[in-house]
Amino acid sequence: MLRLRQFREADAPAVVQLHDLALTEVGAHVGDGSWDADLSVIPAAYLEAGGEFLVGEVDGELVAMGALRRVSSGSAQITRMRVHPRWQQRGFGRALLERLEDRARELGFTTLRLDTTVQQRAARALYEGAGYRMVGTGHEHGFEVVYYEKRLA
């Protein structure tokens, strides 16, 4: 049902729309700002920089997205994980996370990091269930944030 593939330029409007919708739905959208600049340059920010950006489609509709951003030769950040609210609770987030982890291994990364807000309970459950361990907390853009890390085998 869900088809995962690499981002294409034609996906850009749908990616921004999904990003805004998913964050608004969980009360974690801080509005437009420089913190979202990467979404207007996805090929340069992710694909050409040694990372990955995946989208998930169901019957041609973009319903999920997630990215892998290179931090160093051995580590990367999982970011921009979004599933359309209408398509949540179907395993799409887990499938996307697993594919990003596989891609991270292919690219030679041994450590993955990510963060999410405290209020995003479903995201936290997903990450913790996938073996990510909490390594700290902080505050970003007015939200309490939880930082996670996972070592890849």
pLDDT, residue 129, reads 97
- Phi-psi region at 48: left, alpha or beta (left = phi > 0; alpha = psi -120 to 50): alpha
Beta strands in the chain (DSSP E): 3-6, 52-58, 61-70, 75-83, 111-117, 133-140, 143-151
| CB neighbour list of residue 91: distance below 8 Å, 6 or more residues apart | none
pLDDT, residue 91, reads 96
Give the CATH superfamily of 3-110: Gcn5-related N-acetyltransferase (GNAT) (3.40.630.30)
At 17, which amino acid appears?
Q
pLDDT in 10s for each residue of the chain, 153 residues: 999 999 999 999 999 999 999 887 776 666 676 678 899 999 999 999 999 999 999 999 999 999 999 999 999 999 999 999 999 999 999 999 999 999 999 999 999 999 999 988 999 999 999 999 999 999 988 889 999 999 998
pLDDT, residue 27, reads 65
pLDDT, residue 153, reads 84
pLDDT, residue 100, reads 98
Domain boundaries, the chain: 3-110
DSSP state of 18: H
Burial of residue 43 (CB within 10 Å: 0-12, 13-18, 19+) is middle
| CB neighbour list of residue 70: distance below 8 Å, 6 or more residues apart | 49, 50, 51, 76, 107, 109
